[in-house]
């Protein structure tokens, strides 16, 4: 099969490949602009949304946030690179996120116009994507100095996860990660989280298993989320330990919260009592 030829300046030549062709460097100043796409501009007589194609410059104002902060995306690539994730795979993840975020904006616009629009997002994505949007938008408000500090701190913390066996199952990987997270000191992240206006809960919401994950993998993500939730990075420092009567020390837990409520004269919440009942039933079975 003959190679295709191209007309360059009146001269027919083969398309250049290999040497001399500069590859895109995704890890250096990468910019991501997801503003272009199809957005609703009205509705049919049956109430269905009519979508029109827009270029990035013509896109509605709601799509402005899809022109992602290059400092954040470059930081994502650097951290991923330190973890051994190929740049192309990171690129694909960011592009997939932009596609989902753009669809979420289009869906919101259709609803605001009173149109019905069949969403291309799954139920889980409709809940999860806005949470990612929120965190990325708030991180983009950080100063250049804070972004660089955050990047260095995350890279430093990520070194402890390099011992994860790449051949192990996703479940084992997540359980290993939970053990690592439990023993790490995240106090350095506290001032950066506060500077971005992010709460502990907003960050924990991002630790979520994929919708197509099996029960074992979901359990692994749950272990990581639990390990992160007991860390007092809301106040900074390591996990708060309580000295017990037998001389041992352990993190504050469910029963400590129940006793604290009882001592203050306040009744434990329904959630706490429900969790306590569940633990009792599990211990009997």
Task: Render pLDDT for 235-257 as a digit per residue (tens, 0 to 9).
Answer: 443 445 566 666 666 555 555 66
Helix (H, G, I), strand (E, B) or coil at 97: helix
pLDDT of amino acid 26: 46
Say what the pLDDT of residue 34 is: 92
pTM: 0.66
Cβ burial of 114 (10 Å; 0-12, 13-18, 19+) is exposed
pLDDT at 257: 60
Residues 6+ apart with CB under 8 A from 1: none
**Is the dihedral angle over the CA atoms 203, 204, 210, 216 positive or is it negative?**
positive
pLDDT tens readout for residues 152-172: 988 888 888 777 777 777 777
Residue 208 DSSP SS3: coil
Which stretches of the chain drop beneath a pLDDT of 50? 1-27, 234-239
pLDDT at 202: 84
């Amino acid at each position: 099969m003959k190679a295709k030829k191209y007309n360059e300046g009146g001269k027919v030549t083969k398309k250049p490949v290999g040497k001399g062709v500069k590859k895109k460097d995704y890890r250096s100043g990468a910019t991501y602009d997801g503003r272009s796409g199809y957005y609703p501009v009205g509705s049919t007589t049956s109430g269905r949304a009519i979508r029109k194609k827009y270029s990035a410059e013509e896109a509605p104002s709601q799509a402005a946030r899809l022109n992602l902060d290059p400092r954040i995306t470059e930081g994502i690539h650097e951290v991923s690179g330190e973890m051994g994730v190929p740049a192309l795979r990171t690129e694909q993840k960011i592009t997939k996120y932009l596609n989902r975020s753009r669809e979420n904006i289009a869906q919101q616009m259709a609803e605001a116009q009173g149109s019905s629009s069949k969403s291309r997002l799954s139920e889980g994505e409709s809940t999860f994507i806005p949470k990612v949007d929120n965190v990325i938008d708030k991180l983009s408000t950080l100063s250049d100095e804070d972004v660089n500090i955050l990047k260095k701190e995350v890279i430093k913390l990520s070194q402890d996860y390099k011992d994860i066996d790449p051949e192990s199952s996703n479940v084992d990987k997540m359980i290993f990660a939970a053990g690592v997270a439990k023993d790490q000191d995240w106090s350095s992240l506290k001032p950066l989280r506060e500077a971005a206006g992010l709460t502990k809960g907003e960050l924990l919401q991002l630790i979520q298993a994929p919708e197509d994950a099996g029960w074992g993998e979901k359990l692994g993500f749950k272990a990581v989320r639990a390990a992160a939730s007991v860390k007092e990075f809301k106040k900074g420092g390591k996990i708060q330990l309580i000295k017990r009567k037998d001389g041992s020390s352990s993190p504050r837990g469910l029963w400590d919260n129940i006793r604290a409520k009882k001592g203050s004269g306040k009744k434990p919440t329904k959630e706490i009592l429900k969790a306590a009942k569940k633990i009792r039933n599990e211990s009997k079975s």
